[in-house]
Structure 1
């Protein structure tokens, strides 16, 4: 919501409608709302007092409520939006939610006459509520609000209005953050279709849509399509005089080439971006560090470990002494990326140190619960690889708790984290807790991925092995109906099953064998999840 600039003469002591005995005067509400908005627009001023602005906004709400006598009012809706925005600016997101819900509930009762502006006010309320849920990390609630807002906007403006395309991209970004890539791709394609229907030449808006589509395609493994969209985005940006902003697209193009194992072309794209960023932002900017990280990853994948370490060290020098004004989250992202490279080089202690630094940075940022959970889960994987099973368990426990509260308990990543936590329990001989975690992971992954997905099959294997070690043979026998599950059983477990059903008395697989055979391959999927979680922010 655009806020008007504050007039120098405006202040709490400014003359306005009398407040004594005129609480039902709409002019009082307008006066208070204007003061609140003017204070907010002066937010960069050192004398800005958010509490004073909030008090004015809440008083305007009361004034409008008093004079409307329960009748709907767009001015009341606007005052609720402003008060909610001030709450959010001070980190009081939970206080903002009921105000936004009230503003949405007001709209349906409005009588005929101004349907378009009324509907768009409701649209604005849903979008602001979605943003608020997003800051709380409640991505499911956030995307629901955005979807409802998009439906309202389509009804009012028509499905091919350019503004609808912008909202499609906004909602697609939210789905990417929630790792719902199929939904994100559909919405992004809708935005591109709107550009085509309007017949406009390649615009910056279309370039943004193609960059996002490139990220989605890259994440889904369609690297050729990703490359096509990114090249078209780059061309559109150059055509619109945005040559200086193309470096970010060049990095994404390099990522696509790297995924296609076209290493020389990837290096060329990265070096092109590096030269541009050094010239535009300076040699010590984190954006330069991000290119160093990409080059380190490339050389690590091609077996040139000396070059990989050199680029990691160059990036760390930038991230450890960031320039003033750099968002802390950007530094944390860089540290996490470097950690993944050190982990792949089996330098696990260095990887843990970097993740700890990143986690500390994110702990001070709002709306980062899911990202923090991803980092803690990755720490849990590394601790597991190091044989530090208690530390691994603690990391996974914290990650799972954050995912439960952030609305991601239905995500595939939540199931993967539960499975990994169960394996840590196995190593700590907490077999009953391990069974509970594996069973919950099974339910989540069956719903999200299906029974034939590799992650689901891995949980089946771990769960059957745990039942086996506990002597719960009836439960193992119950998996006979899962044909796909039997196909991934290890040979010794399959032999046990055959002996069991034919009456042979064979000793079940030992506990130590279960500890050795538990699947930890989903550690790579946790790294992928973390990279996907952050990837959309850089597009």
Structure 2
């Protein structure tokens, strides 16, 4: 703190002595902004950075390069505050400036592409995000050493972008690269390792590898808890990741506790509260707390409306999806179909056609048609979901077995018993391959019960002609 005070006094003396337009004034203002930012005086930091930007002479090339520092800091502060629209605009200004005056091997240019990619991702602009993230990685490979920390950040962010695009294998590959680089570059307790472990853990959660996911997320949490200054948003992200693992494992009460802690850590009007409310509402619905779940999801929609400039439309799709699921539980099938279709329209517009989130909606819509005995439409939705899962999920994934089972059950209800048996046996094989994971899973029992009924039906069908023939012989003898 003494160093900060000394540096601040020195910079203020420079400002008193130097005329406006002097390059050292820009340096002093930028340093003052850094000091204010590091000592949690955000408004003061903004003021120093803005003053530096305003004092920059528009035609002075040297000052333009220098002023990119406060512009970068202002954009970063807006991003951290959840002002994604403003941050994106500022990073675009910064990119234009640095593309003009910096060479392509300058790490500052690479960082700008990287930061802009994450801003665009938070806004739901997948095409723009992947373009900027891939550009950043291309420049890293060309100009930076393999163990450069900047490359680790770029690899991790590209993994996040691929994850949102449903390209799980590529996402895991890049997140593993990011963690490996950070481990080589940084001491074991460095805060950069928090993000690297957490990102990789989240990717393992998505493919159902909960043991690996939890190991990485707990590593992130351990490092986080030993930091001198814990970042509430970072801690919230780690708690959220652990909550998702627990939810996937069926440990709903524990997951609820973590999701509630996430909400406590995020400021009231921050756009990240939208997804936190959605996940909390979803778990409440799964636990049968329908009224509380619906109220929480309505809060998420309200906040999304208030944060339209900074929120991600894909988060709105998640909310509609969760509301539809709760309405299904309540027997409001028509309303559920309406909300599922709203979610589907957004995801089909913003995501690649073969995305796992689209497959999930196909499964939901198929289940409603199955419940209504509309087997033709149910089968169509389940088969479309299965086609996506074959592209996006690893072999042996629980959701693959679940969809296969739904297809088999639907075919059985349609009287296509032999086809149903094939599908159910495929579903059973998926679970038996990972018996240690799924030995006590309810889906395994459901598949076995369906196969048992199928076997009885086939046996009865084979016996029916023999009985008929016997009856005919007896009739002939009686004549």
1:267 alignment partner in structure 2: none
Shift of 1:456: 5.0
Shift of 1:378: 1.4
Please show how residues 6-17 of structure 1 align to structure 2 within 5 Å.
6=7, 8-11=9-12, 14-17=15-18
Q: 1:212 to 1:6 in 2, by over 3 A?
A: same
CA contact (8 A) 1:168 1:190 kept: no
Write the distance in 2 (CA, Å) between the matches of 1:221 and 1:357.
23
2:353 alignment partner in structure 1: 447
**Runs of 5+ unmatched residues, structure 1:** 20-24, 196-201, 231-247, 254-272, 288-322, 496-520, 523-539
> Cα deviations across residues 376-403 of structure 1 (Å, max 9, x unaligned)?
2212322xx25x3x44333344557778
Shift of 1:164: 5.9
1:312 alignment partner in structure 2: none
For the pair 1:62 / 2:54, whether they are aligned, the reply is: yes
2:153 alignment partner in structure 1: 167
CA contact (8 A) 2:114 2:154 kept: no
CA contact (8 A) 1:61 1:79 kept: yes
Q: 1:397 to 1:183 in 2, by over 3 A?
A: farther
TM-score of the aligned structures, taking structure 1 as reference length: 0.51
Write the distance in 2 (CA, Å) between the matches of 1:121 and 1:339.
35
Write the distance in 2 (CA, Å) between the matches of 1:187 and 1:340.
21
CA contact (8 A) 1:370 1:403 kept: no
Question: Paired residue for 2:263, among 338, 359, 379?
Answer: 359
Shift of 1:103: 1.5
3-state SS of 2:264 partner: helix
Q: 1:367 to 1:450 in 2, by over 3 A?
A: closer
1:374 alignment partner in structure 2: 279
> Cα deviations across residues 419-451 of structure 1 (Å, max 9, x unaligned)?
442243345565543222233455648934469
CA contact (8 A) 1:124 1:149 kept: yes
CA contact (8 A) 2:72 2:91 kept: yes
The structure whose residues are more often helix, as a share, is: 2
Write the distance in 2 (CA, Å) between the matches of 1:336 and 1:189.
17
Number of residue pairs the alignment of both structures matches: 377
1:506 alignment partner in structure 2: none
**Runs of 5+ unmatched residues, structure 2:** 385-405, 416-441, 444-479
Shift of 1:489: 5.2
CA RMSD of aligned residues (A): 5.7
Q: 1:418 to 1:159 in 2, by over 3 A?
A: farther
Please show how residues 34-183 of structure 1 align to structure 2 within 5 Å.
34-43=27-36, 50-68=42-60, 73-85=64-76, 87=78, 94-110=85-101, 115-116=103-104, 119-130=106-117, 140=126, 145-155=132-142, 157=143, 160=146, 162-163=148-149, 165-171=151-157, 174-175=160-161, 178=164, 181-183=168-170
Shift of 1:374: 1.8
For the pair 1:392 / 2:258, whether they are aligned, the reply is: no
Write the distance in 1 (CA, Å) between the matches of 2:255 and 2:366.
29
